[in-house]
Structure formats: structure tokens, C-alpha cells
Structure 1
């Protein structure tokens, strides 16, 4: 049985193991115990109301309760770019025209941008490979939307998610080699790690301030701009099913796309329900998969169940109710795991 909850200090060793397994490109999950400890500490302080908005964030873990082991993580940043600059490239256009020569050409450009400053961000999604089955990935990703639906007043009107861009099996990024390396003189893995541990001053000091003409790049490099890493495509599809869309912003390191949406239009915000619990002695539950959560801010708990939903209540086994720390008659938040397109 798996359960999603807020990260706690006792999870540090397991989270560090996951960080080591995540490889190059997942900037927000560096294999650095001090940084990971600070992520957990920031979550605890956020829940206690002890952090300014610029530092607030939530780190969730997926725990296998039988093995007593954390097997996945996901996170939400409340407002990016308020304490340090948040950079990306805006993919735009410039028109070059000369009537006398009968020349009219539209050129794609990359322009360094801080346009998404202040947005809430979905980040740090990683699941142990052995658990990438039985809808576990969807549970870990989508539970963040259910949390936002319950506590939307803590977040910004816009939510974004930076998707991992293309890199090869050795961790090499064609986009970084073509652009970033020319200004930084360091490999992609080093730059990615420095950004992940908070050393971002070098970005502001060294990044080009003028538009980069995409047409001057090789075809291979142009082809990865806005492309999602093959391993991240399922995660991208999950976010798109919940209402996020690519709007022309890409990561400055690997050119992965940034997905974005207004929180008020997210499926979970519009369609999740609060229903009272009816306890059942049955351990066999059939029907469609549903996300269910206790809506307790500081002691948040969420699981995946299968149910033939009744319009007036939701059936839970005694074990499920115990995991969520809820009682019969208490209301819990529920949302179908899948959309009609999935």
C-alpha cells in the first residue's frame, strides 16, 4: 500500500537515494544531503507558517508503508523568482523585411526572460523505477493538484512546470553544447548541479542579453528546443491532461518546455468533490481509480482507491481510513484519477 504525505526529516536517507538515481537534468533534486535537508526543513516551516512567501514550498513523498521506505517525491514551489531570479528563454519571432528587395523573413528567436517570476511551480517529480507501475506515477504527480484544490489560497494565480529537456544517455545536452557552453565554459551536468544547489549568480552574470537567432543553430539543436526528454513524456502528458499547456517558454540549460495554466482552470480545482466517508469491512474494491485526500493541511495524507462512486458518499475500508487518519462521516476530497481523454 502506498501513501502520499509531506516529507519529514526521517525521509532524508531515502530521498538522497532517489536523488542519486535521478541522474542529470532534474535540477531541483540534487544529490546533496544539505540541500535536501533544507528542502524538508522548508516544507516543515511552510506548514507552520514560518516562511515568507518567497521561500515557501511543499515536498511530498510517496511511501511504501509495508517496506517503510520512500519510493518517490514530488513538490510545489509557492512563488518562484522572488528571492533569486527565475530565468527561461522566451521563444519569439522577429521580422526582417525590405520592400525594395522583396524580402520578408520571419525568424525565431530565444530571448532571456523573467516573465514567469512569481508563479507557483510544480517540480521535483521522481519515482523509483521499480514502482513505475500500477498508476503510481499518476498518483505522485496528480496529488499535487488535489492539494492545490484544497488550499488554493496559498498559491499564485498561475502554475508552471518545467519539463526535462532532451539529453543523451551520457547526460550530454545538444542545446547546452551549442549555446550555454559557449558562455559558461562548463559541461551541462556541472551547470545543472550548480543551479540545483542554489548557485545561480553565474546565470545572470554570463547569459547572453541579446536575442539568439534559432536559424543560426544546427538542425539537431533546433529540433530539441521545446522537446521533452523521452523519460519525461509520460509526466508531461499527465500535466497536460490536467490543463497545463506549452506557451513558448523553455529552460535555459536544456531547452525543455515550460507548461503553464491558471490555477482556477485546473481540473482538480473545478471537479474535485468533498464527500462523507462510509466505512466498509470489504477489502475488495472495484471500479474506477480515484485520488482521495484528508484535506488536513499540516498532516496531509492521500491514497489511490478503486470505487464505484456513490453521489452521496465514498466507501473506504478501515485500513484506508486509518491511513488517511479519518473517521466515518468525515468528509474527504476525491477526484477521478483519469480524465476522459486518458
Structure 2
């Protein structure tokens, strides 16, 4: 059984392995042991802290295979981005160049540097090891976050976003960044990716063009990938779109991948998950659900075959499932139908 739980200090070696596997462009899992240790420490503090409203908290979770003890994936939420360091995006806008006298009307798309998402919650660090990319593991990693949000709304902002990984080749070269590099930065994409992963973002403010960029001036290759996702990110995007997330004209400043957003109350899994009382026994007429306890520091979530009674507001769990979720009869769980 796969169980989602908060990360802990002893997970560092396996987290570092996943950082290596994730490759260039996955900035939230940098291949740097000290930085990953800080991420773990920050997450442990965030899960254990009493919180009244979203702030500088980061909730990093892992998927553990209980049969082997292996960590096979990660999933995270940043409670409020941009509160301690600027959070940048490009906004895709339009400018009209018109001259009635000459009979000229040109609509031109632009990219404008933005901090518009400051203070929103961010879904991030979703990674699943290659051998496990089948069955329900990906959906569990993605959607378990919404059960945590539904139960503990005060910890998160009203708007939730996710930055989708943009297009890059097997060597980590981004067509979009190649144009920016040529004209403004003189630093290749893997280096920028590495610096960003280390939390070094000062160069963005120092070198990023301050005025809108006319998209028509970009190379054809750069224009083509604006708002497009990396092929390995497409399943994650489709999952979020089914939850109600949509693009609103914002892209990543490095690889031009789209940012998607949704008000927290409109996220399908937040809206549809049920809060039920635990009964332990042999489920009858069972179906598969994502089930989580309602703890913060001891959060657990898994995919399980259970029985649900809407009439009696009960969820019948087997002993194994109850043990995996650290719940007993009479406790409350959140359940979400697959």
C-alpha cells in the first residue's frame, strides 16, 4: 500500500535520489543536499506549527511504499508564495498599434514581468518515480493535497496555482530561455535552473528586462513553446484541469510553461470530498477512494477499497487501512471517490 505522509529527516537520502532523477527544469527538487535538508526542516516546522492564516509555510509530503519502505514520490503545497522573496511570472498581454489616418491596426502580444500571484497558495514538487507511473499513484499524489486543504482551509490562500514545467529538450535546453539568454542573460538554462533551485533569484531582478517584451520579436522556436508543457508534465496538467484549474495568461519566466489557477472553493476535490466517521470492519459493496485522516502533523492519505454510507455518514475501513491512516473507530476521515 502507498501512503502519503509528511516528510521527515530520515527521508533525505531518498529525496536526493529523486532530485537527481527529476532532471533539469524541476527547480523545486534541486540536486543539493543542504538545500533539500532545509526544505525538510521547513516542512517539519510547518506541519507542527499552529497556523491561523496562510504564511511562510511549506508542506512537503512523500509517498511511501509500506511493503518496502521505499519513497517513490513527492507532493507539496506552498501556503503563500512571494512573502519572503519575489515570485515572478510573465503575463501575456496585448497592445494595439493603430493609425486611422493610415488605415493601420496591429494587435501585438506582449510579455510583462509580474508579481501578481504574491500571497497565493502553490501546488508544487509533484514527482513520481518512473516505475510507479501507473495505477492510482499519480492521482493520489496530486489529489491528496486537496483533502488537506479542505480540512484545514485556514492554512491556505483563497487562490491556488500550479506552475507547469515548460518545454525543454533532453539536454535541458529551453527554446524560450535560449532567446532570453542571447539578448539579456548570457547564462544557459541548466545554470539558471540550478541557481533558482538553490533559492538564488537576485539575478532575475538584476538582469530581467523591465519593460514589456513584444512576442513577435522572439525567435519562432521561442514563440512556439509559450504556454506549452513538457511532455512528462502533460498528465499532471490534465489532472488539474479536471479539478477546475485553468490558464489565465501567466507563464514561467524561464521556460514559458503555463501557470494554472483556481479559487480553492471551486477545486472539485475540495468541494466534493466527504467528511465521515470511521467504522472498522469488512467493507461491503466497496469502491476505491482516496482516504485521509484529518490530522496536520500526522497527516496520512491512501487509496483504499472502502464502504461509504451517506445515510449514516460512515466509512467502513479494513483494519489494515485504518492502521495505515493512524485512525480508530469513531475518528473522522476525508474520502474522495476515484
TM-score normalised by length of structure 1: 0.94
Alpha-carbon offset, residue 308 of structure 1: 5.1
Kindly state the Cα deviation for residue 180 of structure 1 after the two structures are TM-superposed: 3.7
Structure 1 equivalent of residue 253 of structure 2: 252
Deviates more, 1:263-272 or 1:55-64: 263-272
**Separation in 1 of the partners of 2:66 and 2:148?**
21
Alpha-carbon distance, 1:310 to partner: 2.6
Which 5+ residue runs of structure 1 have no aligned equivalent? 338-342
Which runs of structure 2 are paired with 1:1-342 in the superposition (5 Å)? 1-49=1-49, 54-281=55-282, 288-307=287-306, 309-311=308-310, 312=312, 313-337=314-338
Contact residue 167 and residue 254 of structure 1 kept, 8 A: yes
Cα pair 1:180 1:253 within 8 Å, conserved: no
Could you report, residue by residue, the CA deviation over 1:261-318 in whole angstroms, capped at 9, with x for unpaired residues?
1111111222111112222246xx8754311001111100111013453323222110
8 A contact 2:89–2:113 mirrored in 1 = yes
Structure 2 residue runs of 5 or longer lacking an equivalent are none
Asked if the contact 2:292/2:301 (under 8 Å) is kept, the reply is: yes
Instruction: Answer whether contact 1:54 1:83 (CA < 8 A) is retained.
Output: no
Decide whether the 8 Å contact of 1:181 with 1:188 is kept in 2. Answer: no
- Matches of 1:50 and 1:335, distance apart in 2: 26
Contact 1:181–1:187 under 8 Å retained in 2: no
Relative distance call for 1:181 and 1:76 in structure 2 (3 A) is farther
More divergent stretch after superposition (310-319 vs 254-263): 310-319
Question: In 1, are the aligned partners of 2:6 and 2:47 still within 8 Å (CA)?
Answer: no
Change (3 A) 1:271 1:54: closer
SS at match of 2:308: coil
Alpha-carbon distance, 1:53 to partner: 5.6
Contact 1:160-1:261 within 8 A present in 2 as well? yes
> Cα deviation per residue 1:56-108 (whole Å; 9 max; x = unaligned)?
11000000111111110011001111111111100000000001110001001
Query: Is this contact kept in 2: 1:42–1:55, CA < 8 A?
Result: no
Q: For 1:144-197, what per-residue CA distance to the aligned partner results, in whole angstroms no more than 9, with x for missing partners? A: 111111111111111110000000111110000012443121110110110111
* Cα-Cα RMSD: 1.6
Find the residue that maps to 1:55 and give its secondary structure.
Answer: coil
Task: Indicate conservation of the 8 Å contact 1:286/1:306, yes or no.
Answer: no
